Amino acid sequence: MAHSHSHHDHHSPHPKGKNLLISIILNVVITLAQVVGGIISGSLALLSDAVHNLSDVFSLIISYVASSLSQKQASTNKTFGYKRAEIIAAFVNSASLIIVAAFLIKEAIERFFNPQDVGTGIVIALSVLGILVNGFSVLLLKSDSERNMNMRSAYLHLFTDMLASVAVLAGGLLMYFFGWYWIDPLLTLIIALYLIYMGYHLLKTSTRVLMLFTPETIEVQQIVKAICTLGPIENVHHVHIWQLNEDEVHMEAHIDFKQDIPLSEFDKILVQIEELVFTEFGINHINIQPEFEKCDSKNLIVQD
């Protein structure tokens, strides 16, 4: 089986672990402050923000570990190295967003039927602190989040928590000036629904990668049609296309040739295939098995 990828190993700059460490430390501090403040003030919204911040701490730690693992070299018993570690981290972090949201919805519904007075001064002060801390962390991770799924999951945790702190601040002001204590569970419910909204897409995307599904942007039939225009190719079958991580899309296929061509000619066609699938479809690793009058299944997709 011919394997070709030397021309297109395009890796983006690796996310900086230093920014993650700073964000972890900041979120530990704000979480402790919000837990104490939430208990003293009796604010469910503040406690829900603290729970979300705690999930942020765990997600950032997971992202940091995954980011470090992904840099390890491959070996004979780990031929892909730890390249999928960041995808697993993205899956865990996005799933945790939804789990935390479900917990907050339960707590908010209970508080609707049992409203309590809230110490608004503490709520306002700590929500402002939360906005500042999470806002700074968001800025630290923003650039890396645009090119890395793992960092995007950590960024989403922090970004939604910053918005949650804004909501808590607004609620604290409304409770302080108007005594609307029902606003506390309402804001908690809104925060929870927003967490589900933000986490779902990333959970879906990371699941597709882990399940080795064909990337949504790639149409297999179009690739086969394009390859069949090159050289003496009779048929393309037994096709598998999957995404290994954020940077690598792999393809393997069997190709029937009309003539029994020499290996040197196949190598030239292989280079053409490599350039075609990379330029047109963004596939940067290919494995091609050449065949001539071989008796096997000619179906496009074959269940191994």
Find the mean pLDDT for residues 222-247. 92
Predicted TM-score of the model (pTM): 0.75
**Residue 11: pLDDT band with limits 50, 70, 90:** very low
Specify the 3-state DSSP secondary structure of 19.
helix
The DSSP 8-state label assigned to residue 78 in this structure reads: B
Range 2-210 classified under CATH 1.20.1510.10: yes
Phi, psi of 245, rounded to the nearest 5 degrees: -155, -160
Q: Measure the CA–CA gap between 120 and 44, rounded to whole angstroms.
A: 12
Instruction: Give the helix/strand (H/E) hosting 272.
Output: helix 263-281
Looking at residue 12, what is its pLDDT?
44
Question: Backbone phi, then psi, for 106, in 5-degree steps?
Answer: -60, -45
Q: For the chain, give every domain's residue range.
A: 2-210, 220-291
Question: How many helices and strands in the chain, by DSSP H and E?
Answer: 8, 4
Positive or negative: CA dihedral 60, 63, 69, 70? negative
> pLDDT tens digits for 38-90?
888 777 767 776 776 777 788 788 888 888 887 888 888 988 888 888 889 88
Instruction: Say which CATH topology domain 220-291 has.
Output: Alpha-Beta Plaits (3.30.70)
Q: How far apart are CA 15 and CA 231, in angstroms?
A: 42
